[in-house]
Amino acid sequence: MKEDEAACVLFDSGHRACAGCAAAMVARLILDAAGKDTIVVSATGCMEVFSTPYPETAWKVPWIHSLFENNSAVASGVVASLKKQGRKEKVIALGGDGATFDIGMLCLSGAFERGHDFTYICYDNEAYMNTGIQRSGATPYDASTTTSPSGRCSYGNKRPKKDLPAILAAHGAPYVATASIAYPPDLRKKVEKAVNTPGPCYVQIHAPCCTGWGFEGEKTIAIGKLAIETGLWVNFEMEEGKVTRVKKVVRKPVEEYLKEQKRFRHLFRPKRNDDEIGKIQAIADRNAEKFGIDIQLKK
């Protein structure tokens, strides 16, 4: 990296993330997009722990962590405080899917209902990774985690992912988007749009976790791409509650995504479970239909 480029990095090297950690990429990319005049309010979680072991910090912007479930409420206070002082910094609340979908939902809903001007960014690695890969409301159907293990009478997580973007759009959020670390320019553009849109905005970023999902660290981007290409993750934008942009793909069968990850291994071993793979394919098909992501190829 060139020296002048290094000077612009607002999320510094030397943190303790796993090699291939998508959450660390999220931190770097969102600050890239938001710029140095940003205050970050983090929830407890992997990112908070690997980036701020006292007396060190990876954050070169003002940063605060209070608790697991209150980053939206803390952000509300920061926004109010800045307003009273006539200051113009942008505020980003940052949390994993556990903090966002589950334990912090009350504070998140309250802050969005009140219309506080900040951007909430969820790095979604689809389970509680910091505590050892337990299922959350964002864990996909059939994923095996330490609290939704596959077993003789279990195929893993019994429920599909909670549709949080829709819930937050229903709060009247002016801008809601999903993104993936596999598509950095798109991610940056969405964060930039969110922080520059007045009112509470939400960006949910797919962040594959090599440790929790069971794949080699060098495959993080490839796994992220496969999620998009199979239709199990859809990148879209919602403005004033309406879907305005989606990423279209030539879809691949879901097993190309599933077979790369240990969390879905029980669907293939000891023997292939066509019923369950079929149910996951149906989830992708519904996504494709709902968002119209299929590129129609000329025959």
Partner 1 sequence: MLEIMEGSHAVAEAVGRCRPQVIAAYPITPQTHIVEALADMAANCEIDADYITVESEFSALSACLGASAAGSRVYSATTSQGLALMFEVCFNCAGMRLPVVMSIVNRAMGAPLSIWNDQQDSISLRDSGWLQLYAEDNQEATDLHYLAYKVAEDHRILLPSFVCFDGFILSHTYEPVDTLTQEQADSYLPPFRPYQRLDAADPVSFGLFASPDYYMEFRYAIDQALDKARSVIPEAGKEFNEMFGRDYSGLVEEYRLDDADVAIVAMGSICGTVKDAIDEMRDAGKRVGLLKIRCFRPFPHKEVRKALSGVTTVAVLDKNVSLGSRGAAALEVRDALYGSGVSVQGYIIGLGGRDVRKRDIASVVAKAEAGEGDIYYGLRQEVLR
Among 9, 12, 32, 66, binds partner 1 (CB under 8 A): 66
196 binds partner 1 (CB under 8 A): no
Q: Within positions 113 to 152, which residues make up the interface with partner 1, using CB under 8 A?
A: 113-114
CB of 83 vs partner 1, minimal distance in Å: 6
| Interaction between residue 198 and partner 1 (CB under 8 A) | no
Q: 22 in helix, strand or coil?
A: helix
CA atoms within 13 Å, Cβ hemisphere of 143? 28
What is d(CA 187, CA 191) in angstroms, rounded to the nearest whole number?
Answer: 6
80 lies in the site for partner 1, by CB under 8 A? yes
Distance CA 158, CA 141 (A): 6
Residue 82 interacts with partner 1 (CB under 8 A): yes or no: yes
Cβ–Cβ under 8 Å, residues 95 and 26? no
Query: Does residue 190 interact with partner 1 by CB under 8 A?
Result: no
Q: Which of 11, 24, 46, 63 binds partner 1 (CB under 8 A)?
A: 63
Tokens 């937050």, located at residue: 168
Tell which positions 261-280 bind partner 1, by CB under 8 A.
none
> Residue 67 interacts with partner 1 (CB under 8 A)?
yes
Q: Which residue has the tokens 């195929």?
A: 155
Q: What phi, psi does 222 have (nearest 5°)?
A: -60, -40
H or E element at residue 244: strand 242-246
Q: Does 13 bind partner 1 (CB under 8 A)?
A: no
CA distances from 89 to 53, 83, 105, 193 (A): 25, 10, 25, 15
Which range in 57-65, 165-173, 188-196, 199-207 contacts partner 1 by CB under 8 A?
57-65
Which is nearer to partner 1, 39 or 209 (by Cβ)? 39
The stretch among 18-26, 72-80, 143-151, 253-261 that binds partner 1 (CB under 8 A) is: 72-80
Cβ atoms within 10 Å of 110's Cβ, excluding its own: 14
Residues that bind partner 1 (CB under 8 A): 36-39, 41, 48-49, 52-55, 57, 59-67, 69-70, 72-78, 80-85, 89, 106-107, 109-111, 113-114
